Amino acid sequence: MQIDDYIKAGKIASEVREIARTKNWVGKTLYEICESVENEIRSRGGKCAFPVNTSLNELAAHYTAEPNDPKVLTDTDLIKIDLGVQINGYIADTAVSISYDSEFDMLVRTAEESLKNAMSMVKEGVRSSDIGRMIEKTVKQNGLIPIANLSGHSLEQYTIHAGKSIPNIWSIGSFSLSVKETYACEPFVTTAKGLGFVREGKTRNIFGLVSKKKTKNEKANKLLDYIWENFNMLPFALRWITKEMDEKEARLLLEDLIKNKVVRAYPVLIEANEQRVAQAEHTFIPTPTGAIVTTL
């Protein structure tokens, strides 16, 4: 495990998250927000580990801006800005929720509080189910509901979701945190009217390589090579490709790669009762006495 690269990525991610937290994004398009945050990452010597997520209101996760996305942020919106930084494939994953409507301030505060409480109990050997229990308890004490089918995750080089899950509720079946692994913890919180689950939406604008298997389409194979060289197995956005080729052609070639099961498309995740969702997230490495929170 390259702790230096994890820490370097975390420092950049933390700085960029705090810039995003304090900026007034009202009146900006989602395209402008994504491009601004991603440029802050690059200007500090980092690479994006995945497209910046700008999920609004009842969208919990997996929305990134379309090329020239016209959607404008208003002062009634709650936005989750979820960003990732990688150094040599070692990832820092962090998120902040910003509410411009005081009615939803408690959602944001509860997501942050449950994350803070989870981080306070982390050390080598702690069970993942106990972290979930702490998050659930904190959220419910504030009269809100945790999202049960979203979770944190283990991280590996060039792999964001590396197989282990850190739940946001108490759950049967768990594992002990290891000093040899890196994890992301990310509470998702919805209102008392929420169902506490997310469902998949129709929009799919984040993609990821599944294999390097060539297709019968030569142009699609060139795009496949470009994806591998630039993003490896990490997620990417259509707008990253349209900087190199025509949008219409890029869409067609991506569809071909998806049809051939070389690329997967990630659906947006929507709170099942269409209630607003807040998120907070840190990346951490357990130690025998606590945690190195790389994105603090």
pLDDT tens per residue across span 44-85: 999 999 999 999 999 999 999 999 999 999 999 999 999 999
Q: Is 282 a catalytic residue?
A: no
Q: Of residues 130, 161, 247, 274, which has the active-site annotation?
A: 161
Same topology between domain 3-200+274-293 and domain 206-268 = no
Model confidence at 1: pLDDT above 80: no
Between CA 272 and CA 291 the distance in angstroms is 34
Band of residue 239 on the pLDDT scale cut at 50, 70, 90: very high
What pLDDT digit, counting tens, does each position of 164-214 carry?
Answer: 999 999 998 899 999 999 999 999 999 999 999 999 999 999 999 999 999
Q: Is 4 a catalytic residue?
A: no
Mean pLDDT within 18-23: 97
pLDDT at residue 288, rounded to an integer: 98
Domain ranges of the chain: 3-200+274-293, 206-268
Q: Residue 244: which residues within 8 A CB-CB, separation 6 or more?
A: 226
**To which residue do tokens 């411009």 refer?**
100
105-121 and 128-141 helices, crossing angle to 10°: 150
pLDDT at residue 173, rounded to an integer: 84
Encoded tokens for 62: 């997996």
Q: Is 82 a catalytic residue?
A: yes
Model confidence at 36: pLDDT above 80: yes
Q: Of residues 5, 58, 69, 82, which has the active-site annotation?
A: 82
Model confidence at 94: pLDDT above 80: yes
Between CA 58 and CA 62 the distance in angstroms is 12
3-200+274-293: CATH topology is Creatine Amidinohydrolase (3.90.230)
pLDDT at residue 121, rounded to an integer: 98
Burial class (CB in 10 A: 0-12, 13-18, 19+), 275: buried
pLDDT at residue 172, rounded to an integer: 87
Band of residue 218 on the pLDDT scale cut at 50, 70, 90: very high
Between CA 146 and CA 144 the distance in angstroms is 7
206-268: CATH topology is Arc Repressor Mutant, subunit A (1.10.10)
Band of residue 243 on the pLDDT scale cut at 50, 70, 90: confident
Q: Of residues 186, 256, 271, 282, which has the active-site annotation?
A: 186
**Mean pLDDT over all residues of the chain?**
97
Q: Of residues 5, 38, 153, 256, which has the active-site annotation?
A: 153
Q: Is 69 a catalytic residue?
A: no
Q: Of residues 40, 93, 113, 256, which has the active-site annotation?
A: 93
Mean pLDDT within 11-38: 98
Q: Is 161 a catalytic residue?
A: yes
The DSSP output letter for 46 is -
Sign of torsion over alpha carbons 152, 153, 158, 163: negative
Q: Of residues 62, 113, 281, 282, which has the active-site annotation?
A: 281
